[in-house]
Amino acid sequence: MSHSSGPDNLIKMANQIGSFFDSFTDRELARNEVAKHLSRFWDPRMRRAIMAYDTEHKDNNALMPIVREALSTMPPPPPNN
């Protein structure tokens, strides 16, 4: 997956993942599953970009709360090589 279209596409994809897991009744499980999905299937550059967006947009953020919660539990991706 490419993130060349900027944060809008990443936000859309992250929120789609969040929408699926947000239906879980166990909030901790939902948050962990979002984090696990992002860690497993998103390229480190994509994770860096969505984490940067979340950090830079604390007040005006388009990410779902479950996605923001998941991002807050994730370690930073490995540095660029």
Q: Which pLDDT belongs to residue 19?
A: 98
Mean pLDDT for all residues in the chain = 92
Tell me the torsion sign for CA atoms 38, 44, 46, 48. positive
Spans of all domains in the chain? 7-73
User: For position 78, what pLDDT does the model report?
Assistant: 87
Q: Tens of pLDDT along 39-58?
A: 999 999 999 999 999 999 99
- How do residues 53-77 score in pLDDT, each as one tens digit? 999 999 999 999 999 999 999 999 9
Please state whether 6 falls in left (phi above 0), alpha (psi between -120 and 50) or beta.
left
Token output for 69:
């919660």
Residue 12 has pLDDT above 50, yes or no: yes
